[in-house]
Amino acid sequence: MPTAKPYRIDVPQEKLDAIMARVKAYDWFPAPANEEGFAYGMSTPVMKDIQRYWLAGYDWRKSEEILNKFPSYKVEIDGQVIHFVHVVGEAGGRRPLLLTHGWPGSVFEFWETISPLAFPSRNGGAAEDAFDLIIPSLPGYGFSGRPKSPIGPRATAALWDTLMRDVLKYDSYLAQGGDWGSMATSNLGLHHGTVDDKGGCRAIHLNMVGFRPTPATPQSEEEGRWLSSMQDAMQREGAYLMQQMTKPQTLAMALMDSPVGTAAWIIEKFNGWSDLSEGGLLDTYSKDQLLTNVMIYLVNDAIATSVWFYNGFAQEGGNALPEGVRCETPTAFANFPGEPVYKPAPRSWMERAYNLVRWTDMPRGGHFAAMEAPDLFVEEMRSWGRSVETTEAES
């Protein structure tokens, strides 16, 4: 198995210059006369404001310093180059936690949670709650290499298990994810869970539902209402998913030609999927946060292969479990109430797909939980880690 090699982010200046030249040259077109907010998708006034800041206030080199604060590595596994952040904290190898992002996010989603999770005694916590953190970029995303063809979360889970066990030599580990991270993490639990003390994924934590049971028919009024609401949400918000799942290359050709278009495609989702109950998009995230996440796609030419992931998911068969099968790895779920689109299923539904041992109703936060509410995410991870160890000690 190849050895992981240290990696430092240092984007060539000519790449940055080319991106910024296209941002500056973007040819604005008239917005609908009755446009209000994000009614037609990305808000024209908000995107123009972000473009102005991008050109006059944003500094990628400062973002690079932030991204290089924690050690990064690259390794080739089964022909796929994987980038990952690896922080050995106060746990010193004792409690490895694999964190997986989704689309349109990146490893940057977890940035504000890294120090509190790895070094809790420096951040108002107890040293015994510390984790070693492993935060990989999905294949085709961020600083990971581009796959030759679309791959999905099941294949990603196999890469992650090899990374954890064979490359990093963690015999067993915990895993957490939301969005595509929830699907990769669910597949870790299903296909790479600890069996007969032989190592693997000991327990998983999700903040978005991954698998669905078969048959996927409601068995209560509550489940019926949830399924109906999900169908309504997909009718309103699911066009992006169908495009990326069925015709990703058409979209990729447009997005690869336009940094502003890529930013609009990504930032509109941050607006639509976040908990904005206490303010708008720019009250929830700074422009630097939004643009750093966007730039991680742009400096790596990763937007095309990121949308391939949806097609890879379809090729793998989607998220339906075989009838009578569920993920038996102990599963925890955090219900962030500001999730506007991918509302969690009722517990009864999830219990048919997972060995659900923990459910936490969070006070705030949405789809991008670790980025929106890092304090709550950290506390939930600490509490979940303690509960896993207590359960294992009692069994």
pLDDT tens column, 153-206: 999 999 999 999 999 999 999 999 999 999 999 999 999 998 766 789 999 999
Please report the pLDDT score of residue 197 as a whole number: 67
Please report the pLDDT score of residue 196 as a whole number: 63
Which amino acid appears at position 239 of this protein? A
Pairing verdict, β 172-177 and 200-206: parallel
Please report the pLDDT score of residue 76 as a whole number: 98
Residue pointed to by tokens 């969005």: 179
Are 303 and 195 within 8 A, CB to CB? no
The tens digit of pLDDT for each residue in 9-54 reads 999 999 999 999 999 999 999 999 999 999 999 999 999 999 999 9
Query: Is a pLDDT exceeding 90 seen at residue 393?
Result: no
DSSP assignment of 359-386, as one string?
EEE-SS--SSHHHH-HHHHHHHHHHHHH
Distance CA 137, CA 143 (A): 7
Sequence-ordered alpha helix ranges (H) in 131-273: 153-162, 180-191, 221-237, 239-246, 248-255, 259-273
Task: Give the 3-state secondary structure of residue 110.
Answer: helix
Question: At what angle are helices 153-162 and 303-315 packed, to 10 degrees?
Answer: 100
The tens digit of pLDDT for each residue in 90-142 reads 999 989 999 999 999 999 999 999 999 999 999 999 999 999 999 999 999 99
Cα distances from 9 to residues 12, 214, 299, 386, in angstroms, run: 10, 44, 10, 34
Cα–Cα nearest to 105, from 348, 367, 329? 367
The tens digit of pLDDT for each residue in 212-233 reads 999 989 999 999 999 999 999 9
Which amino acid appears at position 68 of this protein? N
- Determine if the peptide bond prior to 104 is cis (ω within 30°): yes
Sorted by where each starts, the structural domains of the chain and their CATH numbers stand as: 5-24+40-394 (3.40.50.1820)
- Joined together, the tokens standing for residue 121 give 């005694």
Query: Is a pLDDT exceeding 80 seen at residue 394?
Result: no
Please report the pLDDT score of residue 20 as a whole number: 98
Farthest CA pair distance, the chain: 64
> Percent of the chain, pLDDT > 70?
99
Residues 6+ apart with CB under 8 A from 224: 218
Residue pointed to by tokens 């196999």: 158
Rg (CA), the chain: 20
* Residue 212 main-chain phi, psi, to 5 deg: -120, 145
Banded pLDDT at 391 (limits 50, 70, 90):
confident
Are 268 and 41 within 8 A, CB to CB? yes
Across the strands, what pairs with 176?
Answer: 99, 205
Distance CA 109, CA 118 (A): 16
- Joined together, the tokens standing for residue 315 give 């090729």
Catalytic residues: 179, 310, 367
